[in-house]
Amino acid sequence: MRSDDRLCLVNGNWADSVPVLDRGLAYGHGLFETLRLHRGVPPLWSYHLQRLSLGAERLAIKLDSSRLQCYLDTLLAHCPGEGVIKIILTAGVGGRGYRVADAPEPQYVLHWFPTPASLSTWSPQGLSLTLCGHRLPHNPGLAGIKHLNRLDQVLARMEWRDEFQEGLMLDQRGGVIEGTTSNLFCLRAGQWLTPSLHECGVAGVMRQYLLDSLLPGMGLSAFEAVINRDELRAMDELFVCNSVSGVWPVRSIAGIGSWPVGAGVQVIRARLQQEFPCYH
């Protein structure tokens, strides 16, 4: 159970299963976070905890942040210093039916994984993306949070194998939203734009860190905007980002166009690596 490739805590105990009546299993009633681990430290933990807390409030799950921190410290004390940690918070055990119990006890699952081998094949000269046919539904009540129901991403990811590194997802109107596992940034006329996520999509931790801290600290302008697929062709540079892989330039999107790896994304990648060396 506690070998390097199988370190998992369920409510603070070494285990690899949850009850069959768990609401996260039955209804997707829960949330998750995926943390990069470097030298025994998750670089953006405060951002992850902030998003998890926001999601828990929206889904009426009583998150005990002190308890979660205790479980995380236990896992960190036993796992390798490099890798990825996945945290799952569910609404706990419930009966058959959608009604939530009066005082549900959340379940905390923390699991260590090795750093994805695929990252070693990605090139700083840019990633190749595909445009996914499956589109994200509009759901403002769930927009932004990282809830457990990721069937849209599962269906989209079925559309390619290894010929692309990521897939770009649109909403029902054809607006650009995000990658299946990443957020998108575009450079236009000296300003960085990222798609608005008010109706659907996941507000990524790396995306938030870039908007709140790194880009303003570099004196760069960045803001949310509605972007349609046709506008992508006129962008000067593109990159995708998430908290596991960091920032990666986009070289091409099949059926839409191609872009050079410009100075803008190169400077951002360099600054991010200065702040967090794991994102190289």
Residues involved in catalysis: 34, 146, 178
Rounded Cα–Cα distance for residues 109 and 253 (Å): 36
R_g of the chain computed on alpha carbons: 19
Give the DSSP letter of residue 233: G
Among the listed residues 225, 232, 180, 173, the one whose alpha carbon sits nearest the alpha carbon of residue 202: 180
Burial level of 230, CB count in 10 A (0-12/13-18/19+)? exposed
User: Residue 71: what residue type?
Assistant: Y
- Rounded alpha-carbon distances, angstroms, from residue 272 to 1, 71, 210, 247, 276: 35, 28, 9, 8, 6
Reduced to 3 states, what is the DSSP secondary structure of residue 41?
A: strand
Bridge partners (DSSP) listed for residue 93 = 22
